Chains A and B, each alone.
Chain A
Amino acid sequence: MLVNQFLVLGAVLFSIGVYGVLARRNGVLVLMSIELILNAVNINLVALGALQGASGAVTGQVFALFVITIAAAEVGVGLAIVLLIYRNRASVDLDEVDLMKG
């Protein structure tokens, strides 16, 4: 297998994820798009690690494990924030959450 099969798939997922972040206006859907990006990162890490021999393969996997762990923490925190906003405002629409115009 070519390493580029995996890398280009990662690039597709990354680009789709960026599209989702920019185009979605629902907080939960934006978060899902970010998960697509993180999966692209992990594919890259594992595929590129495998290219580097045994120690690289292990390093890539360990890095990917840390990414997954922290993604879980991020999603937990994110849903707490979304829930908080929903309770105060009954909406998670990002365009409505704009009292202070940046």
Chain B
Amino acid sequence: METLFRSPSVDFHAFAPEIVLVLVLVVLLFVDLVFEERGRWATSTVAGIGLLASLVPVLTLAVAGGDRSLFDGAYVVDDFALVLKGLFLVAGYVTVLISTDYVAEGDYYEGEYYFLLLSSLLGMTVMASARDLISIFVALELLSIPAYLLAGWRKRDLRGNEASLKYYLLGVFASAVMLYGMSLVFGVTGSTVLSEIGDALAGGSSTVPVVTVGIVFVVVGFGFKVSAVPFHTWAPDTYQGAPTPITAFLSVASKAAGFVALLQLVFIAFLGQDDVWAPLFWVLAALTMTVGNLIALRQTNIVRLLAYSSVAQAGFMLAPLAVAASIPAERGGIANATEAVVTYLIIYAAMNLGAFAVVMAVARKTRSGEIGSYGGLFDYAPGLAVLMAVFLFALAGIPPLGGWYAKFVVFKSLLDAGTGAAVALAVVAAVNSVIALFYYASVARQMFMDPVPDGDTTRVQVPAALTASLALCAVATVAFGFFPNLAARLGDVALFGALP
């Protein structure tokens, strides 16, 4: 029996960012192979330049404009995808900057490190465009599997091993549960393309229990990825045990990728089923903010503090999802919530990466992650202390630093929804903003008021790459605060092409 195979027509411009990334991956492998020990420094350079190069097609696609829908809507390059691809690539570039000296001095496998980092980023850029269950699953695994390995990159460190194992086992379990949910959704709707699932589910007015179970399992699977309470247990241990640049990467880029998938699934495929996911996200958001903040109060290690703070921040990002369906159309509806989450993600990336960059710079001298070792930082490294204060107060949401606008858009979409549940969530969020201020401020007090614990006040040597990343994050954090239109503009255009 002869079957006729029609080779698909591929819009190569739409795939250009991913193609450039794959080429960079190949170049990385060859550089590592050819130069061996002599040219190990070259790998970080190649990775950094490669990431900037893959930003170029993102820009040309943005300039060319228009939504590109490929493979019957399974892969879409719209403004949402482009903004998030840009975010992932820039966050990846900053991660390469903060990794450069850390990895070079630690005698780790450099070529392979950057290879895995860029593979994970490739998964994220694919995720931003994936509008089909199979693509979302495959992209999720491509961004996770290198991350499991990178978490254990400090091979001889027992904490690093533990970080990797916990992250891996919980991650694989969560993706298996998510897949079971996807199989049910596929079974009911008969399609894996998100827009077709959305049409099929919108047809039935009452909610079928099997769809409910499917949606809950999918949301639980991604709840792990974004470290929502009660699926956050891996996060603090993994963050503490993993190499610090990878921790920064996980807490920003990997979390953003989880939110991207959630936004796509919930707002395209499950749009008509909001009586299932709205209460679910409400509980997740409230729990995540509160539990994250309360545990963060007790932390004595700066990385664990930032880990729990990033759990709490995820709660704020989940909040617009909880109320999205009740935002009236004249206030933007779903688009309002999408804008809030994307804006929050962009600003959060700048301030959180910045905070981790300072932690790495300080650890170069103190060799410690204890908050106590930050005592008197202002005396011997005033620049770092001021920067840390900027990032911490930005995370707390103090104007005029970037974080206030992120919090503002979340509160705005909660109040635009206006329902009792939304207002209640806004109150929870407000209380949590105050709690968070305590632990951010206590680190700042340590840096400015307390004496240096061991009396050693030699200056901290900050290498050039780390300085560059600090400068980038600081400028972005401050600029987003003073000119919120910058972030708002990005969040504003980042809408799904398919949305009404």
Q: Do chains A and B touch in the complex (CB under 8 A)?
A: yes
Contacts of A88 in B (CB 8 A): 155-156, 158, 161
- Pick from A41, A51, A78, A97: contact of B162, CB under 8 Å: A97
Which residues in chain A, 81-102, are within 8 Å of chain B measured between CB atoms? 81-82, 84-85, 88-89, 94, 97-100, 102
Interface band, chain A: 35 or more
B169: chain A residues at CB < 8 Å are 27, 30-31, 78, 94
Give the residues in chain B near A89, CB-CB below 8 Å.
158, 161
Q: Is B148 an interface residue (CB 8 A)?
A: yes
Asked if B161 and A84 make an inter-chain contact with CB atoms under 8 angstroms apart, the answer reads: yes
- Interchain CA distance A67-B258 in the complex, whole Å: 19
Cβ–Cβ < 8 Å partners of A82 in chain B? 165
Within 8 A of B (CB), among A53-95: 56, 59-60, 62-63, 66-67, 70, 73-74, 77-78, 80-82, 84-85, 88-89, 94
Which of these binds chain A: B81-89, B181-189, B474-482?
Answer: B181-189
Query: Does B95 interact with chain A (Cβ within 8 Å)?
Result: no
Contacting B164 at CB < 8 Å: which of A7, A30, A62, A81?
A81
Chain A residues positioned under 8 Å from B192 (CB to CB): 59, 63
In this assembly, does B56 line the interface, its C-beta being within 8 Å of a C-beta of chain A?
Answer: no
Interchain nearest-CB distance for B114 vs A (Å): 18
Q: List 11 A-B contacts (CB under 8 A).
A: A41-B180, A44-B180, A51-B187, A51-B190, A52-B190, A63-B183, A77-B148, A81-B161, A88-B156, A89-B161, A100-B159
- Chain B interface helix/strand/loop/mixed: helix
A73, B142: Cα distance in complex, Å: 10
A95 CA to B163 CA, complexed, in Å = 14
- In the bound complex, residues from chain A placing their C-beta under 8 Å from that of B134 are 62-63, 66
* Cβ-based interface call for B173 (8 A): yes
Chain B residues with CB under 8 Å of chain A are: 133-134, 137-138, 141, 145, 148-149, 152, 155-156, 158-159, 161-162, 164-166, 168-169, 172-173, 176-177, 179-180, 182-184, 186-187, 190-192, 233-234, 236-237, 240-241
Q: Are B176 and A66 in contact (CB under 8 A)?
A: no
In the complex, are the beta carbons of B233 and A102 less than 8 A apart?
Answer: yes
Q: Which residues of A contact B145 (CB under 8 A)?
A: 73-74, 77
B residues near A81, Cβ cutoff 8 Å: 148-149, 152, 161, 164-165, 168
Secondary structure at the A interface, as helix, strand, loop or mixed, is helix
A63 touching B161 in the complex, CB below 8 Å, given contacts A41-B180, A84-B152, A100-B241: no
B184 and A44 contact, CB distance less than 8 A: yes
Give Cα A34 to B184, complex, Å: 18
A14 contacts which chain B residues (CB < 8 A)? 180
Can you list the 4 inter-chain pairs with the closest CB atoms, starting with the nearest? Answer: A48-B187, A44-B183, A52-B190, A37-B176
Besides A21-B173, A59-B192, A102-B233, 12 more A-B contacts (Cβ < 8 Å) are A44-B183, A48-B183, A63-B133, A63-B134, A63-B186, A67-B179, A73-B145, A74-B141, A77-B145, A78-B169, A81-B148, A84-B161
Partner among B133, B191, B237 whose Cβ is within 8 Å of the Cβ of A100? B237
- Given A51-B187, A56-B190, A100-B240, are A41 and B179 neighbors across the interface (CB < 8 Å)? yes
With A38-B176, A74-B145, A77-B168 in contact, do A66 and B138 touch (Cβ < 8 Å)? yes
In the assembled complex, the CB of A45 is this many whole angstroms from the nearest CB of chain B, namely: 5
Smallest beta-carbon distance A66→chain B, Å: 6
Q: Which of B158, B168, B186, B240 contacts A45 (CB 8 A)?
A: B186
CA distance A81 to B149 in the complex (A): 8
Knowing A48-B187, A74-B145, say if A31 contacts B165 (CB, 8 Å): no
* CA–CA, A88 and B134, complex, Å: 37
Name which residue of chain B comes closest to A60, CB basis: B186
> In the complex, which residues of chain B have a beta carbon less than 8 angstroms from the beta carbon of A31?
169, 172
Q: Which residue of B lies closest to A52 (CB)?
A: B190
Report Cα–Cα, A62/B183, bound state, in Å.
Answer: 12
**Residue of B141, B176, B184, B234 with most partner-chain A CB within 10 A:** B176
Q: Which residue of chain B lies nearest to A33 when distances are taken between CB atoms in the complex?
A: B173
In the complex, the answer to whether A78 meets B172 with C-beta atoms within 8 Å is: yes
Bound-complex Cα distance A59 to B135 (A): 12
Q: Whole-angstrom distance between the alpha carbons of A85 and B172 in the complex? A: 18
A7 neighbours in B (Cβ, 8 Å)? 187
Taking CB atoms, residues of chain B closer than 8 Å to A37 are 173, 176-177, 179-180
A89–B176 CA distance with the chains assembled, in angstroms: 28
